[in-house]
A = this chain, B = another copy of it.
Amino acid sequence: MDLYKGPLDTKEIFGRWLDEEVRSNYGAYISFVGTIRAEDGIEALSFDIYEPVLQTWFDRWQEKAKKLGAIVKMAHSLGDVPVHKSSYLSAVFSPKRRVALEMIDAFVEDFKANAPIWKYDVKKGKRIYASDRSTPMDGAGLLA
Contact = CB atoms under 8 A, between A and B. Distances in A.
Contacts of A112: 97
A3 B18 CA distance: 21
Interface string A14-34: 110010001101111111111
5 pairs of A and B residues whose beta carbons are closest in the complex: A29-B33, A11-B15, A27-B37, A101-B105, A30-B32
B84 A23 contact: yes
Interface of A: 10-11, 14-15, 18, 22-23, 25-39, 84, 95, 97, 100-101, 104-105, 108-109, 112
Interface centre among A29, A35, A84, A112 (most CB of B within 10 A): A35
A25 B37 contact: yes
A97 B108 contact: yes
Contacts of A100: 32
B35 A27 contact: yes
* Copies of this chain in the oligomer: 2
A37 B26 contact: yes
Contacts of A28: 32-35
A41 to B, nearest CB: 14
A123 to B, nearest CB: 18
Contacts of A31: 14, 30-31, 33
Given A34-B27, A35-B27, A11 B22 contact: no
A35 B18 CA distance: 11
Contacts of A38: 25
